[in-house]
Amino acid sequence: MKKILEKLKKIDRRIIYLVVFLSIIIPILPGFDFLIFPVAPTKETKAIFDEIEILNEGDAVFIDWAFDPSSKAELLPMFEAFFKHCMKKKVKVFIYYATINGINLGKESVKKITATEEFSWCREGIHYINMEYVPIAADIRIFNMDVDFKGTYKKEGKIFEGVETLRDIDYMIGLSGSAYHFTHVDMQIRFNYKFGIAVTGVMGPDFVPYLQTGQLTGMANGLRGAAEYERLVSDKYEKNYYGSATKGMSSLTFSHLVIFGFVIVGNIVYYMDKRKRG
């Protein structure tokens, strides 16, 4: 017993890393689909879905992409599920990049989706548009201007018909891994847009107060939020469809359980050691 205690106390961190690695990698290997657990949608995620559901064909949705590849695992699946949902509803999608490192990632994701047979009818400039980047957080000031998007971005296209300023946007969603979208919440007072948010798991608690006040219509929190959104889209449009977030949830589940196990073992070792020392 004493030996085990000593070993556990001085456990090599590489063993911990290996266990975590295996808990993440095994569930996403081919043949382990039975480890995919159904995720029940929360009311916060469903609220975003419902906002898109009530839109009509031709309404305008604004996606504020404020994340870079470091948050890709959590936020890219949400973007993909949301964009697909918008395209299924045939609403116009404006994608703006608030971070320079997100532009290529976003454009490639849109290209990948529109290359599929189901969305091959989507045309840039008509059904969606990749708007460009304005540096150093100047973007929100640009959008708040009462000048038109076309004038600001020198973009031509049918998509801008009837959509000239931020006031003409029917729904806005922000995707970020930081507190960046606090500004957008504040600006609602002036421009009265509906605003939802998809953030990394660690940022979720920061936005809960805004959800409670109704300033945010909904929130997809982390990979789980994305998996919930995938399920909502799947239940409504594509039966038995699972995206990368749903698959990733099995990894998330097992890695959480492993960390949970380490915390328990760590505490047991601590108390046994404490008792031994008196």
Give residues in contact with other proteins (CB under 8 A). Answer: 11, 13, 16-17, 19-21, 24, 37-40, 68-73, 101, 103-105, 107-108, 111, 134-138, 141-142, 144-147, 190, 201, 204-206, 208-209, 212, 222, 224, 249, 252-253, 255-260, 262-263, 265-267, 270
**Of the two residues 5 and 55, which places its CB atom closer to other proteins in the complex?**
5
Angle at 189 between CA 229 and CA 90, to 5 degrees: 35
Q: Which residues 6+ apart lie within 8 Å of 59 measured at CB? A: 91, 92, 170, 171
Tell me the C-alpha distance between 242 and 113, whole Å. Answer: 15
Tell me the C-alpha distance between 75 and 203, whole Å. Answer: 12
**Of the two residues 43 and 158, which places its CB atom closer to other proteins in the complex?**
43
Whole-number minimum distance, CB 8 to other proteins, in Å? Answer: 9
One-letter amino acid identity for 195?
Answer: F
Whole-number minimum distance, CB 54 to other proteins, in Å? Answer: 25
**Of the two residues 20 and 47, which places its CB atom closer to other proteins in the complex?**
20
User: Token pair of 152, please?
Assistant: 């600001």
Tell me the C-alpha distance between 72 and 177, whole Å. Answer: 10
Whole-number minimum distance, CB 175 to other proteins, in Å? Answer: 15
Whole-number minimum distance, CB 237 to other proteins, in Å? Answer: 22
Tell me the C-alpha distance between 65 and 106, whole Å. Answer: 8
Q: How far is CA 93 from the centre of its chain?
A: 16
Task: Give 3's DSSP letter.
Answer: H
**Of the two residues 53 and 235, which places its CB atom closer to other proteins in the complex?**
235
- Is there a contact between 82 and 51 (Cβ–Cβ < 8 Å)? no
Whole-number minimum distance, CB 191 to other proteins, in Å? Answer: 11
> Per-residue b/e over 60-99, b at no fewer than 16 CB within 10 Å?
bbbbbbbbbeebebbbbbbbbbbbbbbbebebbbbbbbbb
Whole-number minimum distance, CB 143 to other proteins, in Å? Answer: 10
**Of the two residues 53 and 273, which places its CB atom closer to other proteins in the complex?**
273
Whole-number minimum distance, CB 105 to other proteins, in Å? Answer: 6
User: Token pair of 125, please?
Assistant: 């400039």
